[in-house]
Amino acid sequence: MQLLERLLLAAEEGDRTGYTIEVLVLESLVHQTRGDVTAALVLLERALTLAEPEGYVRIFVDEGPPMAALLEAAAKRQIVPDYARQLLAAFGQAEDRTPVKQVLIEPLSERELDVLRLLGTDLDGPEIARHLMVSLSTLRTHTRNIYSKLGVNNRRAAVRRAAELALS
């Protein structure tokens, strides 16, 4: 805990919001493990308040079921409830199952959605690049990002996953 407190102080002094959020998340999990849910929720509320404007998701979701349990407790206690529910939806465990625009940990950008739509056509890579007026290298970068975000490794699987998620 002492190390986390020093890391938090350094992150705050360096105005490093992402690291501040990470440390707050870890501290909240330590308190939860120790059985002090109240302290855990105080730290989590601070992390959620910092994270919401920037839309951080992965920092929370990567912590797995213990974080999901904390987020459920936060939502029930009206601690940044809308954002807590949005994060729970990313876990696939939303309490009220309110629909979220995209249920991906990291949503696709508008340009990636454009590329994804064209991946479902008969156009090959160079034709898609010409259609979007980007270089083939840029198209490959977008495609690689899409595959990573959707958890797939080929064009056909990306199109199928997008259909499952109603992205295209």
* Shared-domain flag, residues 7 and 83: yes
The answer to whether position 59 is within a domain reads: yes
Q: End of a domain among 30, 60, 91?
A: 91
Give 151's pLDDT tier (boundaries 50, 70, 90).
confident
Kindly state whether residues 82 and 133 are assigned to the same domain.
no
Give pLDDT, residue 98. 43
**In the predicted structure, residue 42 carries a pLDDT above the cut 60:** yes
The residue range of the domain holding 7 is 2-91
Q: What Å distances lie between residue 150 and 96, 139, 147, 161, CA to CA?
A: 24, 16, 5, 7
pLDDT of residue 94: 37
Residue 76 lies inside a defined structural domain of this protein? yes
User: Is pLDDT at 102 greater than 80 in this prediction?
Assistant: no
User: Per the domain annotation, does 101 fall within a domain?
Assistant: no
pTM, rounded to two decimals: 0.53
Question: Could you tell me if 74 and 85 are in contact, meaning their C-beta atoms sit under 8 angstroms apart?
Answer: no
Same domain, 86 and 129: no
Domain boundary residue, one of 61, 91, 121: 91
Three-state helix/strand/coil letters over 10-27: HHHHCCCHHHHHHHHHHH
Q: How many independent structural domains does the chain possess?
A: 2
Q: Which residue has the higher pLDDT, 5 or 143?
A: 143
69 part of a folded domain: yes
| Contact assessment for residue 116 and residue 167, using Cβ atoms and an 8 Å cutoff | yes
Q: Please give the pLDDT value at position 168.
A: 59
Kindly state whether residues 42 and 70 are assigned to the same domain.
yes
- Kindly state whether residues 135 and 56 are assigned to the same domain: no
Tally of CB atoms within 10 A around 148: 11
Q: How far apart are CA 164 and CA 161, in angstroms?
A: 5
What's the mean pLDDT in 143-157?
Answer: 91
Tell me: do 71 and 15 sit in the same domain: yes
| Amino acid (one-letter) located at 89 | A
Is residue 104 in a domain? no
Whole-number Å distance between alpha carbons of 13 and 42: 20
Pick from 22-31, 73-82, 90-99: least confident: 90-99
